[in-house]
Amino acid sequence: MRRKPSREELAKNANLCEYCSAKCCRYFALPIDTPEGWREFDFMRWYLLHEKATVFVDDGEWYLLVYSKCKFLQDNNLCGIYETRPDICRAYKTNKCEYEDRWVYDKYFETPEQIAEYAEAFLGPKKGKNIRSAKTKI
């Protein structure tokens, strides 16, 4: 397995996609409303009950991320419909892509329990309910 060169090691006009694992073609992320109450957080819990779904926050914006490979991603990690690809793909530029593998989100939730705990910390416990188990005497 060969090492992926850094951006700096490549020629200025190099096509990064020829060296990348095509992360941008293995998921999609859609903006969602910033949660303000239990109902919105409960929707996020529902999202996270589904396989390959996560929720993240980047620069204050909330997103639903679904890991799902594009049907037209080829084994060489290049686009199989490059000439007729959708506008969203055409608009995507590599100058700010995830090529370096250093992408970090402000917040990242993978499980419904994580979002429930965050909601409770953000909103306080629901009246008469608590996500934690009752305290037991030893």
Domain membership of residue 117 (yes or no) is yes
Mean pLDDT of 112-137: 82
Domain membership of residue 98 (yes or no) is yes
Report CA dihedral (113, 115, 120, 123) to the nearest 10 degrees: -170
Domain membership of residue 46 (yes or no) is yes
Q: Is the pTM of this model over 0.85?
A: no
Mean pLDDT of 107-121: 96
Report d(CA 5, CA 16) in Å as an integer.
10
Domain membership of residue 105 (yes or no) is yes
Q: 131: which 2 tokens?
A: 């996500």
Domain membership of residue 68 (yes or no) is yes
Q: 61: which 2 tokens?
A: 């914006």
Domain membership of residue 75 (yes or no) is yes
24-37 pLDDT per residue, tens? 999 999 999 999 99
Report d(CA 1, CA 86) in Å as an integer.
32
Phi-psi region of 62 (alpha: psi -120 to 50; beta: other; left: phi over 0): beta
63-105 pLDDT per residue, tens? 999 999 999 999 999 999 999 999 999 999 888 788 887 778 9
Q: How large a percentage of the chain has pLDDT more than 90?
A: 65
The domain in which residue 62 lies consists of: 34-123
Domain membership of residue 11 (yes or no) is no
Residue 129 pLDDT level (bands cut at 50, 70, 90): low
Which ranges of 20-126 would DSSP assign to H, the alpha helix? 38-48, 87-91, 112-123
Domain membership of residue 26 (yes or no) is no
Give the chain's domain count.
1
